[in-house]
Amino acid sequence: MPATLRKGSTGEDVKLCQTRLNAHGFSCKVDGQFGPRTETLVRAFQRATGIKADGVVGGGTWAELLDEVGDIDGDIVDQIKALGADAVFAEAKRLGHVVWDEANRLWYFGVRSPALTANKFDDALGVIWTGKGGKKHMRVWPGTTDPGTYWLEHPMRVNGTAILVEGQYLDCWKIDLQNGQYRALCQRAGKVKVYRDADKDNVLDFDVSTESGWFGINLHRATANGESTQVNKWSAGCQVTAVTADHGERMELADMQVGRTKRETFSYTLMKQWF
């Protein structure tokens, strides 16, 4: 078994650790230096595999790193469906967020996977609402809560590409046109907070400065027809659904809320994957 590694370690075992992180989808520079980036990726890998996320590569972490590469997370959408709406609400309340059971008022949410390599639709976007007789309903769709590689490597702002910070944004969206083309939920009613990833690589940085404001962080779709498998230019920080039909269903629900409650704003709660 290789040596136990931690921040400050150097050498061939560190290179092996970095190589295995890459093999598992956690993009890492293989330089033999266990610096802050490698530590961040180790913690993310540990969370994804259910190990204590202490950033130290000991026996348990090595066993997972050296194992054959499989699907670490499984299908995040199916897992949320199996957990159910009550479990999603329970996690939101644990984090101090507001939930509600007001009839036909939508509670949009996103669950961000721990993977730090960009360009995959490996997150979940969903909505919960209370219907007739107090019954809870939930829909969950594959999507991304992160920008794609193109915009990470070609940021539109000098201070970096926007990545929405996990949290709750009450009444931040209204129905409008995405880039003047099709109906989506657009940031027209409230500010949001974003990280600014400025190093122009395809690794998502969550340990950088943040700012609040109006950044056009919308909830929309990728392709106009079918399904997208890579994010690429579809997101510069927006929350984006991979499948065209899923976006259509989401907008039908948005119209339902407006029609039945007269409430024209929509809230969003973004959480890290906790299961």
**What local confidence, expressed as pLDDT, does residue 24 receive?**
76
Q: Is 253 helix (H, G, I), strand (E, B) or coil?
A: helix
If asked whether residues 249 and 156 sit together in one domain, one would say yes
Domain CATH for 53: 1.10.101.10
Please list, residue by residue across 20-52, b when 16 or more beta carbons sit within 10 angstroms of its beta carbon and e when fewer do.
Answer: bbeebbbbbeeebbbeebbbbbbbbbbbbbebe
If asked whether residues 115 and 35 sit together in one domain, one would say no
Averaged pLDDT for residues 147-163: 95
Please give the Cα distance from 17 to 23 (Å, whole number): 10
**What local confidence, expressed as pLDDT, does residue 70 receive?**
45
- Total domains in the chain come to 2
If asked whether residues 61 and 80 sit together in one domain, one would say no
If asked whether residues 123 and 216 sit together in one domain, one would say yes
The predicted-structure confidence for 121-147, as pLDDT tens digits, reads as follows 999 999 999 998 899 999 999 999 999
Averaged pLDDT for residues 237-244: 97
Residue 1 lies in a domain: no
Instruction: Taking each helix axis as running N to C, give the angle between helix 76-83 and helix 85-94, from 0 to 180 degrees, rounded to the nearest 10.
Output: 90
Residue 29 lies in a domain: yes
Last residue of a domain, one of 42, 66, 90: 66
Instruction: Report the predicted TM-score, pTM, of the whole model to 2 decimal places.
Output: 0.75
Domain span at 150: 76-272
If asked whether residues 17 and 142 sit together in one domain, one would say no
**What local confidence, expressed as pLDDT, does residue 69 receive?**
54
Averaged pLDDT for residues 100-116: 95
